[in-house]
Structure 1
Amino acid sequence: MLRKKRIKEFSHLLPQLNIEPSQRPTLVSDVLEEIFSLVAETDSRSSVFYYYDHAALKNLYACALVNRQWCASAVRILWRRPFSPIHNGGHKLITTYLRGLDVEERRDLKLKRIKLPTVSPIPMFNYPSFIRHLDYGEMLYAVEVWSTTLPRRRPNTVISVMRVLLRLFLHNSGPLSSLKLASLGEDYHDEKVMILAEPEIRSLITSVRTLSLDGFDCNQHGLLVRLPDLCKNVEYLHLRGWYGNKQNEEDTTIDNNTTNISGTTSSQKDAAAISLRRLIKAQKSLISLDMIDCKAYLGHIISALDTQSISLRKMKFRLVDFKDCGPWDGLATCHKLTNLEFWLCKGITQKMIKPLINGTFPELEEVKMLQYGKGCEEFNTWINNMNGTTNKEEILEDSDDVDFFSQEDPDL
């Protein structure tokens, strides 16, 4: 009451503006979406594939309950990243999407004896038009869970529904902005991921700017081989959990004159290394490369960086084992680097870093390092010289600190 009284007392001092009701400024949808994006997308770095956390989801749900306009804007943000390990009801999203199928798509699925949810209630929004970021593994898992709710599950149910939904996304939303592909386990064979390479669907991923590859198993090498031809506009590339086949010798058993080799074969390892190299070389303008917990293919990956020497700005290595990597000639050609980071890496030798030490990096702002023990002395000296300090790197003596470090960074 006191505040209203004060406003009334001094209202005569305010300028008198004759504004028609139709001309009064309002928060249009675009402005609301921008505000909600700042509320939900706490990590504003476009170079990172991430999920909304519980706090972000709670805030967006609260915004959606204010009024109709706020609801429409909040829903657009919520459904940009529909599939997430945080969500327990991913299969319910599948039901919502399937309700938006046209008559022809529904008929095709019914001909395959796949029971679909009823059209009613009609969705309030065109949800497929909002998707921009896709975790393919989480989507595939959601379809798998949804298929278990059917009275009778057909052998082709998952692949058929995945194909229909991906077409639905492409026709309503257009190409994706970011894509995450991960090792899906023994039950997810190449056939289930090769859907992305089909002619009527591959346009969905051709314009992806952020690509995250969390390791591939032997059942998924077909898509990895095709990626260099499908994704050529990647600006931010994340590689995580690439171990190669170092355990092959331990996994080889002989039984009744039959050799059973589990794990990745030598030919598959070579194919993976070549495909990763081709993927980097195929990019038109790679800006950032982030490697996490990788132990294989380092030589192939780093040697391919010479093709990105003009565009590459950021390199980050975390928990990377450089053993048997070879000289970093490709990295040394990237003269436009502005950020270079090494977090808890090992296996770095004087032979590897020699090209880097002899290279010139006029735009390099800082080299960050967190390591165990003393590491390579020449590398430490080079880092100190680049940073203009005498002891810039941080040293950890106890390996137990990895757990704390991993908690600080959600990507680890």
Structure 2
Amino acid sequence: MASNLPHLCLRKIFKFLSNDKNDTYILRRKNIHSCVLTNRYWCEMAIPFLWKEPFTGSLNSIKSIILVNVLIINFSEQELKSLNLNSILKKHNKTTFDYIKFIRTLIVNAVIEATAFWLQNNPNISNECPIANNLLKKIILNASNLEHIISNSNINVFKFPISKNYFSNLVELTGFDEGISGIYSSISKVAENIKILRFSLTNNHITNSNTVNDISKIIKNQKNLQHFSVDNRLNCYCCSQEYSSLDFTSIFFSLTTQSKSLRYIGLYDINFFSNFPLKQLTLFDNLNHLEITRCYNFGIELNFNQFNSNISFKTLNRITIYYSAIPSNILKYILSKSGKSLKKIKLIGNEVMENFHDLIQHCIIYNSNLSHFLSFIHSNEILLLPKFFKSCQFLKHFEIWDINYSSNIINNNQLLDKLINIDDNLLLNISESIPSNLKIFNIIMNWSFSTIYFDYFLKNLENFNIHLDYLGFPFCSNFTNDHLELIIKNLNYPLKCLNIRNANNIKYDNVERSSKFVKNLVVPNNIRRFVEYDKYFYDIINQNSF
């Protein structure tokens, strides 16, 4: 019987339910809460998982008041008296569990907001009552297995007069802002077992000139850092430019002290001052994912001969670049050295491909094990697609964007001006070379192709037993009612999504008919009422499959 499952089995089950990334936070809590109600044995086992992150999610005033009440009930009599909260003792009995001990994730700002709601609901208690500070201290002192701290407030929890032993199990730090006085120097003194470290310098004024040096010290002090990201989005109307462009050179050098353990590096809004740290990046033996977002001033004068080509990017599985004008020689080097280990390429923004006219050819030569490919490309590169597909037979997700498309246009649903007349034989060759496991085929270009060869394309997909989940031609203005008729005629398996949102020549009746065979049909605005949105559709649009 389920009630007699061994302790370790139940722990694994509850851990899986509480960490299931396919579910929302609310659904995960509901699943665990159902387990709590099963019986006493399950309750005792599941409660720690239900209470590991009570301040995560949306906390309204009612939830906040209830949560704070539950947590402070188990304050000692002396602690309550020191806060002038003696009345709490009279109103409530002690809870069955001391829930504070189960907390694994501490969101500092959420604690402050929750206690503010609680004070508003208790007008007899002074607003000056330091309930927030005391609750934070209590959580740190009693949550011996505290694993994750998200510090996005003006309270520096690392300055509390407590031993560094209380942070011995801390493995993740997120959202530390320089607006918190001395936060970085405090962290470097108490935390040394961090695996995931995310710094954010967003929306505050840099007043401490030692910020970068303090971050470097934190990095060097870690024993097994695996995930590092830094966000330098300091731009605001009242800051001068020198404050919004910090030099992170010393941080890049300090990261090399973690060369054996680092698996992910994320760089956001960084000015490299013409000194992109490619040499440092080549030293990471186990780097799995490199992400570069809105960065600039990379510099292009690099001596590649000084790098150890036997090590460089040999384990790189995934590269993601957003809106960053990375020089083509740097990107080519990374792609060529990562070789067959590279599985996912995501290059968003036409500035990424501005000077890179042979991306597809480069991947054909070096990156034959790709499973996911999303990139802006030059229109003449579509001629290489049959060779690309033949080379990359493990592809599951393929998406290309026209280099002329700009995300900055006022109406980003408007058609691309340049119509690309695709050679009919090319479309046929593409269908004959598409990898058998391909699930997503999305063309963000204004392709024009005949119905005759589109019919061949669809028939070949069926002949080669290729069952797409998502078929997208959202910018193909010449996609007609006859094209849609062919999909209805040849579709022998259910499509999860068909995106033809700018196909203005299709008819109402055909859209209605096709909606019976396609779960999500994205069509022009005048008949958009036939669109059904579900989780899969949003996953595709938001590229969560990457």
Partner of 2:382: none
Distance in 1 (alpha carbons) for counterparts of 2:224 and 2:301: 25
The alpha-carbon deviation at position 294 of structure 1 amounts to 4.4
1:280-359 matches, cutoff 5 A: 280-292=219-231, 294=233, 296-297=245-246, 298-317=248-267, 319-324=268-273, 326-328=275-277, 331-332=280-281, 334-347=283-296, 349-351=298-300, 358-359=307-308
SS at match of 1:71: helix
For residue 277 of structure 1, the aligned residue among 216, 219, 228 is 216
Larger RCO (CA within 8 A; separation ≥ 6): 1
For residue 382 of structure 1, report the CA deviation from its aligned partner.
Answer: 0.9
Q: Which runs of 5+ in 2 are unaligned?
A: 235-244, 340-360, 368-373, 377-400, 413-537
Amino acid at match of 2:210: A
Report what 2:189 is aligned to. Answer: 229
Q: Note the 1:159-308 alignment, pairs <5 A.
A: 161-182=131-152, 184=153, 188=154, 193-200=155-162, 203-217=165-179, 220-240=180-200, 242-243=201-202, 264=205, 268-292=207-231, 294=233, 296-297=245-246, 298-308=248-258
| More deviation, 378-387/169-178 | 169-178
Alpha-carbon contact 1:207-1:233 (below 8 Å) kept: yes
Aligned ranges for residues 72-221 of structure 1 at < 5 Å? 72-88=44-60, 89-110=63-84, 116=88, 118=90, 120-154=92-126, 156-158=128-130, 161-182=131-152, 184=153, 188=154, 193-200=155-162, 203-217=165-179, 220-221=180-181
Question: How many Å separate the matches in 1 of 2:65 and 2:88?
Answer: 13
Residue 120 of structure 1: CA displacement? 2.7
Separation (CA, whole Å) in 1 of partners of 2:126 and 2:302? 55
Deviations 1:8-59 (A, max 9, x none): xxxxxxxxxxxxx9xx992144422321221221249xxxxxx961211222
The structure number with the bigger radius of gyration is 2
Distance 1:216 1:206 in 2: 23
Q: What is the deviation of 1:216?
A: 3.3
* Aligned-pair CA distance for 1:129: 1.6
Distance 1:155 1:122, change over 3 A: closer
Residues 285 and 276 of structure 1: is their aligned pair in 2 closer, same or farther, counting only changes over 3 Å? Answer: same
Letter in 2 for 1:55: L
Structure 1 contact 180–213 (Cα < 8 Å) conserved:
yes
User: Which of residues 352, 375, 398 in structure 2 aligns to 1:394?
Assistant: 375
CA distance in 2, matches of 1:283, 1:355: 30
Paired with 2:176 and 2:157, the residues of 1 have a C-alpha distance of 18
Match of 2:182, SS state, is: helix
Aligned position for 2:534? none
Over residues 320-370 of structure 1, what are the superposed CA-to-partner deviations in whole Å (9 max), with x where a residue is unaligned? Answer: 333426341673363323313225443152448657982433642334134
1:32 maps to 10
**AA matched with 2:96:** M
Partner letter of residue 364 of structure 1?
T
Name the structure 2 match of 1:12: none
Q: TM-score if structure 1 supplies the norm length?
A: 0.71
Q: Retained in 1: the 8 A contact 2:288–2:317?
A: yes
| Identity over aligned pairs, percent | 17
Q: Which runs of 5+ in 1 are unaligned?
A: 1-20, 45-50, 245-262
With over 3 angstroms needed to count, the CA separation of the structure-2 counterparts of 1:374 and 1:332, relative to structure 1, is closer
Q: CA RMSD in A?
A: 3.6
- Matches of 2:301 and 2:112 in 1, distance apart? 40
CA distance in structure 2 between the aligned counterparts of 1:237 and 1:356, rounded to whole angstroms: 32
Give the Cα separation in 2 of the matches to 1:406 and 1:181: 32
Q: What amino acid does structure 2 have at the position aligned with 1:94?
A: V
What is the deviation of 1:215? 3.0
* Residue deviations 1:264-306 (CA, integer Å, cap 9, x gap): 25xx242322221222122222122134564654334213212
Maintained 8 Å contact 2:192/2:221: yes
Deviation at 1:371, TM superposition (A): 4.2
Q: For residue 19 of structure 2, what is the aligned residue in structure 1?
A: 41
1:32 touches 1:73 (CA, 8 Å); kept in 2? yes
Change (3 A) 1:405 1:64: closer
TM-score (norm 2): 0.55
Counterparts of 1:294 and 1:288, CA distance in 2: 19
Q: 1:116 to 1:286 in 2, by over 3 A?
A: same
Please say if residues 327 and 355 of structure 1, whose CA atoms lie closer than 8 Å, have aligned partners that are also in contact: no
State how far apart, in whole Å, the 2-side matches of 1:107 and 1:356 are. Answer: 69
Partners in 2 of 1:276 and 1:330 — Cα distance?
A: 20
| Alpha-carbon distance change, 52 to 81 in structure 1, aligned in 2, over 3 angstroms | farther
* Counterpart for residue 60 of structure 1: 32
Alpha-carbon distance, 1:99 to partner? 0.7
Match of 2:327 in 1: 376
Contact 1:285-1:311 within 8 A present in 2 as well: yes
| Structure 1 residue aligned with 2:242 | none
Report the CA distance shift for 1:131/1:372 in structure 2 as closer, same or farther (over 3 A).
closer
Cα separation, 1, equivalents of 2:49 and 2:90: 26
Residue pair 2:228, 2:265 contacting (<8 A) in 1 also = yes
Aligned partners of 2:214 and 2:295: how far apart in 1?
25
Q: Which amino acid aligns with 1:399?
A: S
SS at 1:116 equivalent: helix
1:119 offset after TM fit, Å?
A: 5.8
Aligned residues: 345
Letter in 2 for 1:84: T
